[in-house]
Amino acid sequence: MKKPPASPTSRPTKIAAKFADFISLGFGQDVEIWTTRPRSTTRCCAPRTAAVYQLRRWYEQFYVDFADITPDMVAGTSTRSTTTRAVQSWQAEVTANLAARASATTSLNLDGAMTPSWVQRWAREHPHPADERVWRYAEVRCGRCGGCVEVAKFSLQHTSVQWTAAAVLTCAEFSASVAAGGSSALIATCASLRASIDAAVADGRLEVLPP
């Protein structure tokens, strides 16, 4: 820690010690929470958060061997998310804040000028469109083994794949790993399926969803 020129010599050391004590306190509290925290499979979620349970069940397939995958882990789901209400609330708050600044004689910008009225006018004339995004999954068949999975592309780098039990059993790379004494749950990816997904995007059979 750099010592400010006008501060006493001992001050940086005291500040550093207090900061270290604060971090240690928070870390100890986290340890206490996680060492005594039991798993709850039926947590109480707010309305419209059923997708949390669906995602949790879907992720469980990556922590078990393929023989232990249950149908509910790979069942296809579709989640519709919307930020319309949040955007409307934010827009109302922004408009109210701009109106308060415009009417307050003591409200100044960094340069000392009153908040310009055109800012509020621009906010009224350019409302945010409703954000209604839908996760759309499409079937993609592996060109090597013929296994069929559900795939959604949120960008060229972000890919969501939902495996079915049949696809896991059909996958040639998974089967080769298991035959060699490994576990399908520890395989990072299937190179053949990745190539098939890239080909589906290039051919226009798989849509890349806009951000």
pLDDT in tens, 54-110: 777 788 888 888 888 888 888 766 666 677 888 888 888 888 888 877 765 444 444
The long-range contacts involving 81-84, CB below 8 angstroms and separated by at least 24 positions, are: 81/51, 81/133, 81/135, 82/130, 82/131, 82/132, 82/133, 83/131, 84/130, 84/131, 84/132
Q: What is the strand order of the sheet 148-153 is part of?
A: 138-141, 148-153, 159-162
Does one domain contain both 72 and 103? no
Does one domain contain both 75 and 153? yes
Does one domain contain both 171 and 144? yes
Mean pLDDT of 172-183: 84
Does one domain contain both 74 and 172? yes
Residue 13 lies in a domain: no
Does one domain contain both 144 and 176? yes
Does one domain contain both 72 and 112? no
Does one domain contain both 167 and 187? yes
pLDDT of 19 over the 90 cut: no
Confidence of residue 140 (pLDDT cuts 50, 70, 90): very high
Which pLDDT value is given to residue 119? 62
Does one domain contain both 151 and 75? yes
Identify the domain boundary among 112, 130, 148.
130
The closest of 74, 65, 69 to 182, measured between CA atoms, is 65
Residue 153 lies in a domain: yes
Does one domain contain both 163 and 190? yes
Residue 25 lies in a domain: no
Does one domain contain both 94 and 197? no
pLDDT of 47 over the 80 cut: no
Which pLDDT value is given to residue 67? 86
pLDDT of 116 over the 60 cut: no
Does one domain contain both 191 and 94? no
Cα 71 off chain centre by:
24
The structural domain count of the chain equals 2
**Which residues fall within 8 angstroms of residue 205, CB to CB, at 6 or more apart?**
138, 140
Distance CA 144, CA 195 (A): 10
Mean pLDDT of 184-188: 72
Identify the domain boundary among 93, 111, 130.
130
Domain region containing 107: 84-130
Does one domain contain both 119 and 151? no
Residue 168 lies in a domain: yes
pLDDT of 112 over the 50 cut: no
Which pLDDT value is given to residue 198? 92
208 versus 100: which is more confidently predicted? Answer: 208
Confidence of residue 7 (pLDDT cuts 50, 70, 90): low
Residue 23 lies in a domain: no
Confidence of residue 113 (pLDDT cuts 50, 70, 90): very low
Residue 184 lies in a domain: yes
